[in-house]
Amino acid sequence: MDIGWMAWTPVTAGFFTFIVLMLIGMTVWQIVSPSIARRGFLPLVTTRGDRLFISLLGSAFIHLAWLGLTDLAVWIATMISVCFLVTVMRWG
């Protein structure tokens, strides 16, 4: 009987492990050095946590668009998403 459980492949486990470690790292960083809201190239004032959320959401949309519009390897979308995350976190 199949109850529809998610298949935990090593890639899936790695993805969720990375997200959890990133959230733990951001929490420790916030405790050690509280962030100051600032305005970058994004049209709103953001903190580090806001920029992380925006970059993760944007990365999800990049992957969805990539899967829907191309037949190329998803690793290319991952590299684009990492560049997007770094850009938003640094200059957003």
19-74 pLDDT, tens per residue?
899 999 999 999 999 988 999 898 899 999 999 999 999 999 999 999 999 999 99
Structural domain includes residue 33: yes
| 22, 40 contact by CB (below 8 A) | no
Q: Is residue 78 part of a domain?
A: yes
The number of C-alpha atoms within 13 Å of 71 and in the hemisphere containing its C-beta is 0
| 2 belongs to a structural domain | no
Rg over alpha carbons for the chain, rounded to the nearest Å, is 16
Q: Examine residue 47 and state whether it is found in any structural domain, yes or no.
A: yes
Could you tell me which of 27, 84, 26 has the C-alpha nearest to residue 58? 84
- Classify each residue of 13-28 as buried b or exposed e, where b means 16 or more C-beta atoms within 10 Å of its C-beta: eeeeeeeeeeeeebee
Query: Domain for residue 73, yes or no?
Result: yes
Domain count, the chain: 1
pTM given for the model: 0.79
Residue-number span of the structural domain to which 40 is assigned = 10-91
Query: Is residue 5 included in any domain, yes or no?
Result: no
